[in-house]
Structure formats: structure tokens, C-alpha cells
Homo-oligomer: A and B are copies of this chain.
Amino acid sequence: MVSAVRRIDVELAAAAEDRSYPILIAPGLIDGHAELERWVGGREVFVISNETIAPLYLDRVIAAFGDRRIDTLILPDGESHKHLGSLEHIFDALLTKRHSRATTLVALGGGVVGDMTGFAAACYQRGVGFIQIPTTLLAQVDSSIGGKTAVNHPRGKNMIGAFHQPRGVLIDTDVLTTLPARELAAGLAEVVKYGCIRDRDFFAWLEREMPALLDRDPEALAVAIQRSCEIKAEVVGADEREAGLRAILNFGHTFGHAIETHTGYRSWLHGEAVAAGMVLAAELSVRLGSLEASEAGRIRGLLAAAGLPTQPPDDLDPDTFLTHMAVDKKVVDGRQRLILLAGLGNAEVRDDVPREHIIATLVARGVAV
């Protein structure tokens, strides 16, 4: 079956330095698309990938760029390599191979490869073009869209980076067939998030189609990715630099961040921590009277159906939990800013949540006092 290519145009505010760009979604896109011609300015292409993805897809991506001069760099896989040292490797390779200002960087991999490649593109000779080819569901529905690029610093995640929009995003739904089940589920956590914060009907569709999604049905995945990208593009387009609306994309993330900090970013995947975090944020919303208990139950049920954790780790006490939450970048003037729900499909930013309500929510969800 040949599927149609789904297309979303990310429209940025007029003042944005980089222009709007398209996201294309279809099976087999990794082998190329006519749009690539417009995304690559010159004759030079530099593909950055990692040790896990390169053996699977690098040859096909190289073929997709035709007879251009193509150089490649394979980085080690994993978040622990997302630092300035890896960035230096990229610059060394670009300069050794004499890539000019007209070069185009291509990120072939998950969020780590995408974040580093985008940041390298932002800085190389003060800015060159880049293309995202995300190979995890999480990167396809989240990190490849919105122009946030960065590397980590030992003292904080994503502390050094830039806003730099790609020329285009190429999402091949076929590559998800090689994605481990646990990473597929972690990506689905962000998909569920979009339903929670912005689209009640999409949430209901996810409830019906979760078995098909877990079965990697290409059509169901394409629909889920498209709607997720649309919502993210809509939010980012309205607020590129995170002044206001964009904060709602952090639903579940402040609680999740505390779980990731506690577990040292090792045992829990980001999407897993966000899943447990969304359950807590929903239940806190119920406690504050802005969400029905039945709706929080549906969120918890859908995440459980996706095989995601709905409970924080049991060795984390409320005080430590709150301390970890406060270190999150979402603290403004010392007040904890939280994204809660005013009904399913409708997120709101709150900075007036009493500490005792947060503690009560944690305790009710099994966090030991």
C-alpha cells in the first residue's frame, strides 16, 4: 500500500529569524522526497547519526541525497554523550572536511542526535541549515519540532543551546518497526499528553486505537504523529520563545523531572517519568476541583494501556520530591509553576497551588511519607 504523504507547515511568528518549514509524514520517507531539493541549499551535506541507528538507515539516507558531496559522523548513542565535547567532534569533522557556510547538516537519530545536530548547525560559521530525520517516536512527536537545540552541562540539562529551526522534518513511520517496545511506549506518553492538554477528541481516539498503535499499525501511527505534530506546531507557532502558551507542553514534566532527577536519569526513560508525572498532575487537578475524577481515571487508564508507569518510584518521599520539583526551570520568582488541567483537553498554567495539596496528591498516589 502506498500511503499519501501527510504534511504540516510550522508557521512561525513574523519576527522569527528562521522561516516556517514543513513536516512530512509517511512510510518510506527515509529513501527521499522531492522536497529535499529545496531544503538542501548547496552541494554539501553532512549527516550526523549514532551507533545504533547508522547501521540500520545511514546508507539509505545517503542515497536519498543523490550525487551531492556527503560526509558522515557517527556518535556514540545516549544522553550521556549530549555535551560540548561531542559538539567539538562535530565542528572538528566539519572543518576537517572543509564544509562551507552553504553546507546542510542532517540529524538521523533520536532526540539526542537532533538536539546536538541542531545546535551545531546554529553555531557552525554562525549558522547553517539543517534537516531532522527523527527515528524514535519521542523525537518524531516532540523534540524534532519547535527549534529548541541544546547540549547538557554537568550542572543541568539543556543549559547550553540555541533556538534554530530546521529547514524541514522528514518522519518515516516505517523506522518505528525497529524501535524497542519500551521506547515506543515512552513516545506514546507524549502523544497522550497532546490529547490531555489540547484535544479531547484526539484523547478519545487514542483510547480506541491504543492496541493498533502498540501493534505499530502504520496508518494509526501516522494519524497519531500527525495530530501530535499539529498541536505542537500550533503551540510553538504562537509562542516560539517560551514566553507563555508554550509552557503547557510541560504538562506532567515538572513531576516527571523530579522522578528523573531522583533516579539519576538512568532507570526511567523520559516518557515514563512524564507518564507518572501526568497522572500526578491530573490527580492534583482533581484535588483542586478543576478536573473530574473520572477524567483523571481515563488518563491513568490510557497510560496503563500503553504499558507506561502510572506511579512514582516508591523510595521517594514528598519532601525530596518537592525539592527536586523546585530545581526545575519552571520556577519563576520562587513560586512553583505547574501545568494542570481545567477539564480533559484543556491545560492551564497555575502558580498558586498550595504545597499541602501537592503533598496530599503524592501521598494518595503511594509516595511514602
Query: How far does the Cβ of A122 sit from chain B's closest Cβ, in whole Å?
Result: 7
Most buried by B among A84, A153, A160: A160
Query: How far does the Cβ of A243 sit from chain B's closest Cβ, in whole Å?
Result: 11
Most buried by B among A14, A87, A125, A150: A125
> Given A16-B17, A17-B15, A84-B84: A159 and B127 within 8 A (CB)?
no
Please give me the residue from chain B that is nearest to A15 by CB atom: B17
> Given A84-B84, A153-B91: A162 and B17 within 8 A (CB)?
no
Considering the chains assembled together, what is the distance between the CA atoms of A17 and B17 in angstroms?
Answer: 5
Query: How far does the Cβ of A247 sit from chain B's closest Cβ, in whole Å?
Result: 13
Q: Which residues of B contact A65 (CB under 8 A)?
A: none
Number of copies of this kind of chain in the complex: 2
Interface residues in A87-125 (C-beta closer than 8 Å to B): 87-88, 91-92, 95-96, 101, 122-125
Residues B162 and A150 in contact, CB atoms below 8 Å apart: no
Q: Is A253 positioned at the interface, with any CB of B under 8 Å from its CB?
A: no
Q: Interface 1/0s, chain A 64-102, versus B by CB < 8 A?
A: 000000000000000000001001100110011000010
Residues B153 and A95 in contact, CB atoms below 8 Å apart: yes
Q: Is A268 positioned at the interface, with any CB of B under 8 Å from its CB?
A: no
Query: How far does the Cβ of A306 sit from chain B's closest Cβ, in whole Å?
Result: 31
Residues B160 and A123 in contact, CB atoms below 8 Å apart: yes
> Given A15-B17, A95-B153: A159 and B88 within 8 A (CB)?
no
Considering the chains assembled together, what is the distance between the CA atoms of A95 and B91 in angstroms?
Answer: 24
Query: How far does the Cβ of A338 sit from chain B's closest Cβ, in whole Å?
Result: 19
Residues B126 and A162 in contact, CB atoms below 8 Å apart: yes
Q: Is A155 positioned at the interface, with any CB of B under 8 Å from its CB?
A: yes
Considering the chains assembled together, what is the distance between the CA atoms of A15 and B15 in angstroms?
Answer: 5
Q: Which single member of B84, B92, B153, B162 contacts A162 (CB below 8 Å)?
A: B162
Interface residues of A, dominant DSSP: mixed
- Using a CB–CB distance below 8 Å, which chain A residues touch chain B? 14-17, 84, 87-88, 91-92, 95-96, 101, 122-127, 148, 150, 153, 155-156, 158-163, 329
Considering the chains assembled together, what is the distance between the CA atoms of A15 and B13 in angstroms?
Answer: 10
Residues B159 and A125 in contact, CB atoms below 8 Å apart: yes
Query: How far does the Cβ of A326 sit from chain B's closest Cβ, in whole Å?
Result: 13
Please give me the residue from chain B that is nearest to A160 by CB atom: B123
Please give me the residue from chain B that is nearest to A126 by CB atom: B161
Considering the chains assembled together, what is the distance between the CA atoms of A96 and B156 in angstroms?
Answer: 10
13 pairs across A/B with beta carbons < 8 Å?
A15-B15, A15-B17, A92-B155, A95-B156, A123-B161, A124-B159, A125-B159, A125-B160, A125-B161, A125-B329, A126-B148, A127-B162, A127-B163
Query: How far does the Cβ of A146 sit from chain B's closest Cβ, in whole Å?
Result: 11
12 additional A-B pairs beyond A92-B155, A123-B160, A125-B329, beta carbons within 8 Å, are A14-B15, A15-B17, A16-B17, A84-B88, A84-B91, A95-B155, A101-B329, A123-B123, A123-B162, A125-B159, A126-B161, A127-B162
Q: Which residues of B contact A84 (CB under 8 A)?
A: 84, 87-88, 91
Q: Which residues of B contact A160 (CB under 8 A)?
A: 91, 123-125
Please give me the residue from chain B that is nearest to A149 by CB atom: B126
